[in-house]
Structure 1
Amino acid sequence: MKVKTKTAIVVLAAGEASRMGKPKQLLPWGETTLLEHTIKTALEVNTDEILVVLGAHYNEIKSLIDKYPIQIVFNPDWKSGLGTSISKAIYEIQNGRQEIHAVLIMLADQPFISSNDLNLMIKHFRKSENQIIATIYEGGVKGVPVLFDATYFDDLLALNDDYGAKEIIKRYKAFVDFYNNNSNIADLDTPDEYQSAYQNTFNI
């Protein structure tokens, strides 16, 4: 009988979004916001815990998402980059009430990632095989969402800069599998990218 693996989703939403010129976590996406859309997607996934890491504009964003059944993590070192947010989330997971076997990391500004995408990544996870599952997009771009076996929690905990988990993926590339995503959009970083994506999605 297969033992159920326990997975946590970490949504990274601590950045200031300087290229966007405003908090992109709060940008409209249909009848909600980018961050809320991502949280709702995560809530549809077969997972055991959802953590959302906040930093810049903490009070404003927290008041918006307090209503969701998630754990909100504050990263006071958000200006130092993604790595610190990942580290804070892993610390909370390691000190939580249940044993987590894998963590699936995603960004707040990935509206084209579906719950099906995330469920398929979790479905292909094999506990205790040192597995990493990263996403590959059209054109060969590799990135998040990315799933890490608990074997890598200490490496993730040690992150402290803006390179996120890329160096860990490179270091352990022999253990990396890829999930093919048919989209050519990984995330939204600029006003033009956001406007184009919004207009194409909602036929405006």
Structure 2
Amino acid sequence: MATAKDIVGILLAAGRGARFDPAGARNKLLQALPGGEPVAAASARALLAAVPRVVAVVRPEDCATASLLHGMGCEVVACAEAGKGMAASLVCGVQHAQHAEGWLIALADMPFVRPATMTALVREIRQGGEAAIAAPMHDGERGNPVAFGRAHLPALLALQGDQGARSILKNNPVNELAVVDPGILQDIDTPSDIK
């Protein structure tokens, strides 16, 4: 059973996906990957394998994604401010789970991240340490998801704009974990990214 002191997964699923389909007719999070699983479901499955509790942040009008993620066991939160950028969704999710010991912030359009990578990030935050931020590195490049310890709650709640938590990463020590996981760098931006 999850407790308030656990690390909570925050799955950001409130983007519009305009690069995937500028007309807005196809929701990229519901598109099937080569194995048939929807993009958001694969992302949620990996996150659920690493943490006992996942808060999925969606747009209020995106009932299909909300239903899919709720059915997988995620707590779904509709973010009325999602149109203001990624930071608004991130703040919404962290506020919903603000009593947690830390947060693993994952993106719903990154379905190729390995559960083992997420588990390693969570382990790092649970162990404490000076950085209280853990980010994965693959071939010298930093990717997602990123884990934050409780010390960063005020900074997370103060975020604004479409840069997510980049300002926190830029202005604080980050424990960079080397992983053999190209999925930390692969998001679904266009239909060709699915293959």
What TM-score range do you get, normalising by the shorter chain?
0.7 to 0.9
TM-score by length of 1: 0.82
Which amino acid in 2 is paired with 1:179? L
Please list, as runs of the form range in 1=range in 2, the aligned pairs for 1:49-198 lying within 5 A after superposition.
49-55=53-59, 57-94=61-98, 99-125=99-125, 126-127=127-128, 129-138=130-139, 140-172=140-172, 175-184=173-182, 185-194=185-194, 198=195
Per-residue deviation, 1:57: 4.6
Q: What residue number does 1:23 align with?
A: 27
Unaligned stretches of 5+ residues in structure 2: none
Per-residue deviation, 1:92: 0.6
Matches of 1:128 and 1:89 in 2, distance apart?
24
Per-residue deviation, 1:133: 0.6
Which amino acid in 2 is paired with 1:161? G
Matches of 1:128 and 1:73 in 2, distance apart?
30
Identity of aligned residues (%): 25
Q: Which has the larger radius of gyration?
A: 1
Mean Cα displacement is larger for which, 52-61 or 7-16? 52-61
Which amino acid in 2 is paired with 1:169? L
Total equivalences in the alignment: 183
Matches of 2:174 and 2:117 in 1, distance apart?
17
| Alignment check: 8 A CA contact 2:60 2:78 kept | no
Per-residue deviation, 1:37: 1.1
Q: Deviations over 1:129-159 (max 9, x none)?
A: 4411112233x33231100011111111111
Q: What residue number does 2:39 align with?
A: 34
TM-score by length of 2: 0.86
SS at match of 2:95: helix
Per-residue deviation, 1:48: 3.3
Q: What CA RMSD, in Å, does the superposition of the two structures yield over aligned residues?
A: 1.8
Cα–Cα, structure 1 residues 190 and 18, in superposed 2: closer, same or farther, change >3 Å? same
Which amino acid in 1 is paired with 2:44? I
